[in-house]
Amino acid sequence: MERWIMHVDMDAFFASVEQRDHEAYQKQPVIVGGLSNRGVVSTASYEARSFGIHSAMPMVEARRRCPQGIFVAGNHGLYKAVSKQIFHIFQEFSPLVEPLSLDEAFLDITGMEKITLNQRDYAKLLKKRIKDELGLIASVGIAPNKFLAKLASDLDKPDGLVIIERGLEQSILRDMPIRRLWGVGKKTGEKLQELGFRTIGQIAQASLDELAKYLGKTLSYQLIELANGRDERKVEPERDIQSIGNEITFEQDLLQAAQVEKQFLALAEKVGWRLRLSGVKARTLTIKIRFASFQTITRSQSLIEPTNFDEVIYQMAVNLYRQVKVKESIRLLGITGSNLSLHEEESLFQEDQKKKALYHMMDDLKARFGENIITKANLIQKPHNEKDLPKG
Ligand SMILES: [Mg+2]
């Protein structure tokens, strides 16, 4: 399968959060950073950037360039909390998310276009989710590898969406300045300038042996590979994923138990699928219910054996739901699997081996024909007091 990597980077992250939360800051030059005389700028809003202010600039200089600016010390706790919300959304778009900082990540979206939309619409959907739910703007780059994806997200900032198609790698890179190459900082940049390199295209043509004399073999090899648009590095998710969950907010509140259970099935199928894609099983399952009054409850249960089977997740969710005293209509439902185990333990139950083969086949069909091709959710029309649940 052709590899596709997405790089998402929030625009002027800290400053945008401040502008979002303070009406008086909107459309104003906002500078977040250390306010003391020795402080530096950590983020400048785009309005502030038009005064030539940028990250890492001494605060004194920023004040000189824009005395009328709004200078804020920033609220790191808040940015961290918002970052968590952003990554929550990322994880719904790919089981493989590699964080680079609070506001930046790689998502491996290989094969995703087959189960959902084309890459551009997929990226638009992600940007829309972030905007609608968090009131923030992200720039997205999509390319066959990490280096190009990161480059692409920066090409049309702010609010960018750039796709570098396979085969166009070299023509896009050719005339770009060498500092755009990953790993070229100030020192290496100066060295390359001295050696007469100005563009990435020139490095792409360089002789490895020649360059290695000045920069060493490892770095030289890396730079020439990148300059040719080649980058085999994998997206490496953080090893300690805590949980995998999905939730749905309904356009119209749900009144009937049968509707609720149908939605739990749809959620169970999503969560099960994501657990299987990530190669993990959940030992604890939690349901979340938000009522029309916004009162929110969660109920959890742990399993004897961890699972990533849709119907086990579904049955447990329904059991938990049936124990809840429901007095009003429901506006949101969620299922989360946590207490995840990474490695494949042999199942205690033989039955599970058969199920595993079945799920393998189902996931393969989903990958080829779309996520909704096999769904049990549409089939359930039974009232909730009937005991028999759909069979896998
Ligand atoms: Mg950013």
The answer on whether 352 is annotated among ligand-binding residues is no
Is the pTM value of this prediction over 0.75?
no
Q: What is the pLDDT of residue 376?
A: 52
Higher pLDDT, 337 or 236: 337
Residue 43 has pLDDT above 90, yes or no: yes
Q: What is the pLDDT of residue 156?
A: 95
Instruction: Give the CATH number of domain 1-164; options: 3.30.70.270, 2.60.370.10, 3.50.50.60, 3.40.50.720.
Output: 3.30.70.270
**Domain(s) of CATH 3.30.1490.100: residues in the chain:** 243-379
User: Distance, CA 185 to ligand 1 centroid (Å)?
Assistant: 18
> Known catalytic residue: 344?
no
Domain 169-227 has CATH 3.30.360.10: no
- Residue 191 CB neighbour total at 10 angstroms: 15
The mean pLDDT of 76-82, rounded to a whole number, is 91
The answer on whether 9 is annotated among ligand-binding residues is yes
Percent of the chain predicted with pLDDT > 70: 86
* Domain 243-379 homologous superfamily, CATH: DNA polymerase, Y-family, little finger domain (3.30.1490.100)
User: Distance, CA 311 to ligand 1 centroid (Å)?
Assistant: 40
Q: pLDDT, tens digit, for every residue of 194-203? A: 999 999 999 9
User: Distance, CA 13 to ligand 1 centroid (Å)?
Assistant: 5
User: Distance, CA 8 to ligand 1 centroid (Å)?
Assistant: 8
> Annotated catalytic residue: which of 98, 104, 247, 269?
104
**Domain(s) of CATH 3.30.70.270: residues in the chain:** 1-164
Q: pLDDT, tens digit, for every residue of 2-31? A: 899 999 999 999 999 999 999 999 999 999
Residue 113 has pLDDT above 70, yes or no: no
